[in-house]
Structure 1
Amino acid sequence: MKPNVLFVLLISTWGCEDKDTLYKAYEDIEDGQWFVENKFDFQFEIKDTTQTYNLYYLVRNAQQYPYYNLYLDRVMRGPDGKVVFSRLDEMYLSDEVTGKPRGSGLGDLFDHKFVFQRNYHFAKPGKYSISIAQSMRQNPLPFVLGVGLSIEKTPAAAQP
C-alpha cells in the first residue's frame, strides 16, 4: 500500500470518532471470571454543566453465560468525593423465555449497551467517578468478559 493511501485511511479513521461521546472506557475481566470483590472504577471530568448526558453500561459476555440477566451495583461520586447516587440495576443479556442472546454478536461473544441514566444533568463541574460491581449470587460469575462505561451528550432534540 502506498504511504499516501495509508495516511488518508489513518486520517479518515480518526475522523470517525463520535463527537458526542464525552467518555468511553472498557475493562477486560481476567479469564472471564468476575469476582464480587472486583469493582471497576471509571473516572471522568465534567466541564459543561449546562449539557445533559446519557450514561451507559457496556457489557461483553460469552454465549455460555449461565443466566439471562445480570445485576450490577453502581456508585457515582462527585468532585467532592461524596456519593451522588448508588443503585442496583438489572440488565437482560438474553431473552428470558427463549434464551436467545441479546446485543450485537460475533460468534459466541455479545456486546451490550444499556442506558442507566437518561438526560442526566451534572450539578457541578469537576472529576467524577463511577464504580461498577457485579451483584449476582454466583462468585465468581463466569463468562462475563468485560465491563465499561460510556457517557454521551444527549442529542439536542431529546433534551428536556
Structure 2
Amino acid sequence: MRFLIVLCLSLLCCSCSDNSVYDNYKTVSGQWSSKEPLTFKISGLDTIQPYNAFINLRNTSDYNFSNLFLITELQYPNGKKVTDTLEYPMAYPDGTYMGDGFGDIKENKLWYKEHLVFNEAGEYSISIKHAMRQNGSVAGLETLKGITEVGVRIEKPTSK
C-alpha cells in the first residue's frame, strides 16, 4: 500500500513540473513522403517569453540510417518564413539506435531552436519534411521507412 502511495505522489510531482506549453504529434503511416511536410499550428504563446523548441521523433528498427536530415520552415503570423536544414545523429557507431524506449520503438527529442521568442501575436506554423538520400545518390528518397510519428514540443526554459 505504501508503495502505491509513493508511486502516485511521484507521478503527480512529475506531471506538475512539466514545462511544456505545446506538445503535438502527427502519425506517419508506414512511410514518410518527402513531398508531404508535416505542419504544426501554434498560437497563444507569450510574445516576450523565450522558449525552447524540439522535434520529437519515433522510429522503429525499419529505419535504415545512422542520421536524419530534416528541412523545417517556421512561418510567422506576418508571413515571414525561416527555413533550416538540420542533421541529427540517430545511431551510435555500433549501429544501436539512439533515443529512449524499449523494444522496437525509440523516441528522440531533437533540439530545434533554443531561446526562441515568438515576438508576434497570432498563429505560427512549423512544417517539417525529411531530406534523406542514399549515399552517392543525388536524388532524395521519396519515402522514408521506419518513422512512425513526428512531433513538435515547445517548452519554457528551465532555470538552473
Smaller-chain TM-score bracket = 0.7 to 0.9
Tell me, what secondary structure is at the counterpart of 1:50? coil
Q: Please tell me whether residue 141 in structure 1 is matched to residue 140 in structure 2.
A: no
Structure with a larger share of its residues in strand: 1
* 1:36-55 residue CA offsets vs partner (Å, 9 max, x unmatched): 11210000114312211000
Q: Deviations over 1:47-98 (max 9, x none)?
A: 3122110000001111231100111100001111221x11000111111x21
- Partner in structure 1 of residue 122 of structure 2: 126
Once superposed, what is the RMSD of the aligned Cα atoms?
2.0
Specify every segment of 5 or more residues in structure 2 that has no aligned partner in the other structure, as ranges.
Answer: 1-7, 134-140
**Structure 1 residue matching 2:123: 3-state secondary structure:** strand
| Percent identity for Structure 1 against Structure 2 | 29
The 1:45/1:35 distance shift into structure 2, 3 A limit, reads same
Matching of residues 1-160 of structure 1 within 5 Å: 16=15, 19-31=18-30, 33-83=31-81, 85-95=82-92, 97-137=93-133, 138-157=141-160
Partner-residue secondary structure (3-state), 1:16: helix
Give the TM-score taking structure 1 as reference length.
0.82
**1:111/1:47 Cα in 2 relative to 1: closer, same or farther (>3 Å)?**
closer
Structure 1 position 18, deviation (Å): 5.3
Letter in 1 for 2:22: Y
Distance in 2, matches of 1:46 and 1:69, equals: 34
State the TM-score, normalized to the length of structure 2: 0.82
Aligned residues: 144
Counterpart AA for 2:153 = S
